[in-house]
Chain A
Amino acid sequence: EVQLLESGGGLVQPGGSLRLSCAASGFTFRTHTMIWVRQAPGKGLEWVSSINAAGDDTYYGDSLKGRFTISRDNSKNTLYLQVNSLTVEDTARYYCTRRASLREFDYWGQGTLVIVSS
């Protein structure tokens, strides 16, 4: 059974940093592009970042202004998102998801909640 389990969220002050993790199991992690998607409270889905299977090709949403860094450790079946210089607008649930063969997102984690507040 495919499972994606995010962690690392929490309450952080504006300007702070967090490292989000997504532990994958039940599939061959090293063969899949992985994605982070976020959802602000009461709002829609926002694509954040992607990383290819090898980990050497990354993309970011236009609004992130270089503050986020996606990475992966295929030996640990884990995806990461380093988030820096956080603002209140970054308050959201951050989901880890797997990209499948037709570029759809076929499995999602339960998300980890990041709250940016003073």
Chain B
Amino acid sequence: IVLTQSPDFQSVAPKEKVTITCRASQSIGTTLHWYQQKTDQSPKLLIKYASQSISGVPSRFSGSGSGSEFTLTINSLEFEDAATYYCHQSSRLPDSFGQGTKLEI
């Protein structure tokens, strides 16, 4: 299953809102997860199962979608949100990741 994220890169100002889209090449229900990877760090789980929040992750991060189109929304951006964001599907083996969206604040 191929995951395609858009955009590849986005530059936004602090306190703005950003939406990242992930499209799957076939329907995957809601088995879609989002990760944040900061420079020289390991990926960190942000959202699981398309829209379920993760303990410790700020509430400004939210996810939605089902089937083949998903979105990650970050409200009121902060400088610390500068990172690359990846979607990941675990509906069908082998799992796959989107190509990543680099966010500059």
Asked whether A and B interact, the reply is yes
Report whether A59 and B44 are in contact in the complex, using a CB–CB cutoff of 8 Å.
no
In the complex, the chain B residue whose C-beta lies closest to that of A35 is B95
Complex interface bits, A11-31 against B, C-beta within 8 A gives 1, otherwise 0? 000000000000000000000
B68 located at the interface, meaning its Cβ lies under 8 Å from any Cβ of chain A in the complex: no
A108 located at the interface, meaning its Cβ lies under 8 Å from any Cβ of chain B in the complex: yes
Contacts of B43 in A (CB 8 A): 37, 45, 95, 105, 108
Given contacts A104-B45, A109-B42, A111-B42, contact A59 B94 (CB under 8 A): yes
Q: What's the tally of chain B residues with a CB closer than 8 Å to chain A?
A: 24
Contacts of B70 in A (CB 8 A): none
Contacts of B42 in A (CB 8 A): 95, 108-111
Interface residues of B, Cβ cutoff 8 Å to A: 31, 33, 35, 37, 42-45, 48-49, 52, 54, 84, 86, 88, 90, 93-100
